[in-house]
Amino acid sequence: MSCVVLLRFYTFRTHAFDLGIFNQAFSTALQGKLFYETPDLYAVPSGIFLGVHFNLLMFMLLPLYALFPYPQTLLILQTGIVALGSVPVYLIARRILETERIAVVMALIFLVNPSILNLNLYDFHLEAFLPFFLGMFFYCYLITNWRGYTLFLALSLITIDFAALVIVAICLAHVLRTYHFPATLDIDRRRGLILLLTAVASLITFFLVVNISVALSGRSVSTLGAISAFVNPALGSHAIIQKTEFWLLCLIPLMFLPLLVPSQLVMVAPWFLVTALEGLYATSYNIGYQVAGAFVVPYLILASILALDKLQRHHLKLQGFIVGIFLLSLLISPFNPLTQNRLPGIIYEQGFPLPTPHDNVLAAAIGLIPANASVLTQNNLFPQVSSRADSYIYPPQDNTPIEYILADAMSSTYVQGPSLNQTMKVLLPHYMSTGNYGIVVNDDGVLLLKANYGGTEQLAGATNYTYNYRTLDLRTGLEQFDPTSASGTVLVHNSSKEASTTFWFGPYVSLPPGEYTVTFVLKTSGASNGSLLLQVDNFENATSVPVLAQIEVTQASFPRPGAWTPISITFDYTPQQSASGSLEFRGVNVVGGPFSLDYVRVQYLTPAAP
């Protein structure tokens, strides 16, 4: 797992939110600024991460980071602490089930659970410490080790504010486990008093740290306002489906065993309330992020241990359940290629981190940025430049001069940002249009600008974008297998008596400003007739789609019927057009046929004039 998380870093699959935030916060703390980070500046004007989540754990981790002050340190540290979460699972299973073999199996179940893997894979988060801390807190109560109980209670409370609510839920679960029908609790006064004091202390801590966070944030809101800001129930059918899917994906790998001990489900009640009340951030109820592995699944696994004990006492064989759990965990695992782009969340969207030549271009471009220079970049590139205070994913409000601007038009984060007008798609054309920046790198969609730079490009190469049946939308016609094509599948419009219509459209891509050549690779047959208009337009909105270039093709445009023929158009893409629209390369006004499209290739020629 350490190798995989490092590969994710080196293939630019980590993000400002949150590896970049933590690396910058730790790095600036060593530079004399108290955990200062810039990605949250729009929400936390002070820039102090403790204004987002006040915790003392970061102070404890700072000496380790000082020894190895790199973002990779945080990723490897997280891998180790997530793995330690299997220790309390083993200890609790051995205590309750009284068998070493099943205890080891339960620890393995923890390690291969999809949500736990996603917790490890998605950047760095303080929540990753909770399965170990809270698991040991649970175990120490079982064996009446009050020193250990106090230690892990304290460690949990200083990790993240929300841990306090999970602690209250765990205390309630301990109480409910002693409940006997019809209405009696079999718990001694000392234990009951300890649980009560723990719950009260946790609630006090929760409200205390939230107050401190609000005070440190620089926001002019009350504590109650800060908490209520997250209450925004999404009640639409899509959100309800997503939330239901989230809980099913948490339970399916455990074969729904936690439902056999309903009293223990109270441990996940705090996050159930979050998913019920939250609608602003879908990351709160998507399994492909860190939340399920931190706030839900570890406690469902503890409940599963109690469920297995219940089954064992009824003399049921456990082997079938255990085999089923392993199989279902592997089925939903992020390492299963079949889950990619089928399950929600970023871990299921990015694929296995295999290095590419494009990654080498990015690494080379970043290597040209001096360590003390200010940088504006995008979400997935921020961690690599986050060891400085002056690195940003949107322009600083204090007008700090930006020396370097790093963009990657090949990445999906090029069009993503804190707001619609703070994406690299908008910012890059703006800075290029000022005439104050020169191009240092222009290679494979990677652009590095430097303020007041008039030298030659230090890294340059061809930049090509290719679109085919996978990325273009078919309006009329069909997809057809063709072994002579580059992809094996082509779009075909057969001869018909239809009025002129659109053949294909899309892909609505955002590219940097500049001069481009677009090449449509088409073919006809000897019996083809009719015409087709090849068009480049800039889609701004439903009523504004200015045409940038176009050419009409007929049978005469194909000197060799049956052979693939490239037909090219050159067009200029201004900074204003690049910031306001998305490019579409389409075939329209098609009459007759057959016409076949293999792919559309777009080549970047020169940058746009300021």
Query: What's the per-residue H, E or C state across 529-550?
Result: EEEEEEEEEEECECCECCEEEE
CA-based radius of gyration for the chain: 28
State how far the alpha carbon of 425 is from the alpha carbons of 11, 266, 281, 457, in Å: 21, 45, 23, 21
Q: Are 394 and 422 in contact (CB under 8 A)?
A: yes
Q: What is the pLDDT of residue 345?
A: 93
The helix or strand, by DSSP H or E, that contains position 111, with its residue range, turns out to be helix 100-112
Torsion sign over Cα 329, 335, 336, 340: positive
* Mean pLDDT, residues 148-161 taken together: 97
Q: Specify the higher pLDDT residue, 400 or 15.
A: 15
Nearest to 25 by CA among 41, 42, 10, 7: 41
pLDDT band at 222 (very low <50, low <70, confident <90, very high): low
- Rounded distance, CA 115 to CA 104, Å? 19
- Phi/psi class of residue 466: alpha, beta or left (left: φ > 0; alpha: ψ in -120 to 50)? beta
What is the C-alpha separation between 284 and 456, in angstroms, rounded? 46
43-72 mean pLDDT: 95
Lowest mean pLDDT across 17-26, 179-188, 584-593: 179-188
What is the pLDDT confidence band of residue 315, given thresholds at 50, 70 and 90? Answer: confident
Give the containing element (helix H, strand E) for 141: helix 130-142
DSSP code per residue over 142-159? HTT-HHHHHHHHHHHHTT
Residue 45 pLDDT exceeds 80: yes
Q: At 593, is the secondary structure helix, strand, or coil?
A: strand
For residue 527, what pLDDT is reported? 80
Q: Which residue in this structure is represented by tokens 């201004």? A: 574
For residue 296, the model assigns a pLDDT of: 98
* Amino acid letter, 67: L
Distance of CA 203 to the CA centre of its chain: 31
Do the beta carbons of residue 171 and residue 153 sit within 8 Å? Answer: no
Residue range 396-406: mean pLDDT, rounded: 91
Give me the percent of the chain exceeding a pLDDT of 90. 81
Task: Please tell me the number of Cα atoms within 13 Å of 94 on its side-chain side.
Answer: 13
Pull the structure tokens for residue 401. 């001069």
Q: Which domains does the chain have, with CATH numbers?
A: 2-348 (no CATH), 401-460 (no CATH), 464-607 (2.60.120.260)
> What DSSP designation does 16 have?
I
Taking 80 as the threshold, does the pLDDT of residue 236 lie above it? no
Q: Could you tell me if 568 and 515 are in contact, meaning their C-beta atoms sit under 8 angstroms apart?
A: no
Residue 281 zone, left/alpha/beta (φ > 0; ψ -120 to 50; rest): beta
If pLDDT is split at 50, 70 and 90, which confidence band does 280 have?
low
Helix (H, G, I), strand (E, B) or coil at 256: coil
The mean per-residue pLDDT over the stretch 189-218 comes to 92
Helix 237-251 to helix 269-277 angle (10° resolution) is: 160
Average pLDDT, the chain: 92
Tokens representing 92?
């609790």
Statement: residue 59 has pLDDT above 90:
yes
> What Cα–Cα distance (Å) separates residue 284 from each residue in 124, 265, 277?
16, 18, 10
* Residue 450 host element (H or E): strand 446-451
Peptide bond preceding 18: is omega within 30 degrees of 0, i.e. cis?
yes
The pLDDT score that the predictor gives to residue 178 is: 82
Q: Find all residues with CB under 8 Å of 256, minimum gap 6, and list them.
A: none
Determine the Cα–Cα distance for residues 302 and 92; give it in Å rounded to an integer: 8
Work out the average pLDDT over 114-137.
98
pLDDT at 501: 85
Say if residues 464 and 570 touch (Cβ distance below 8 Å): no
Lookup: tokens for 27: 């790095």
Using 50, 70 and 90 to split pLDDT, how confident is the model at 420? confident
Say how many C-beta atoms besides its own lie within 10 A of residue 17's C-beta: 15
Angle at 103 between CA 99 and CA 109, to 5 degrees: 150
What share of the chain has pLDDT > 70, as a percent?
95
**Encoded tokens for 313:** 């006492």
Supply the pLDDT for residue 232.
67
Six token digits for residue 7: 């590969």
pLDDT for residue 204 is more than 90: yes
| Confidence category of residue 125, pLDDT binned at 50, 70, 90 | very high
Closest CA to 453 of 439, 432, 433: 439
> Average pLDDT of 467-481?
93
Q: Are 593 and 493 in contact (CB under 8 A)?
A: yes
User: Does residue 235 carry a pLDDT above 80?
Assistant: no
Q: pLDDT tens digits for 10-30?
A: 999 999 999 999 999 999 999
Q: Where is 199: in which H helix or E strand?
A: helix 189-217
For residue 67 the two structure tokens come to: 């020894």
Confidence label for 421 from pLDDT (cuts 50, 70 and 90): confident
Residue 515's contacts (CB-CB under 8 Å, 6 or more residues apart) are: 570, 571, 572, 573, 604, 605, 606, 607, 608
Gap between the terminal Cα atoms of the chain: 46
β 473-474/504-505 pair status: antiparallel
List, for residues 497-552, the tens digit of each pLDDT value: 556 689 999 999 999 999 999 999 999 988 878 899 999 999 999 899 999 999 99
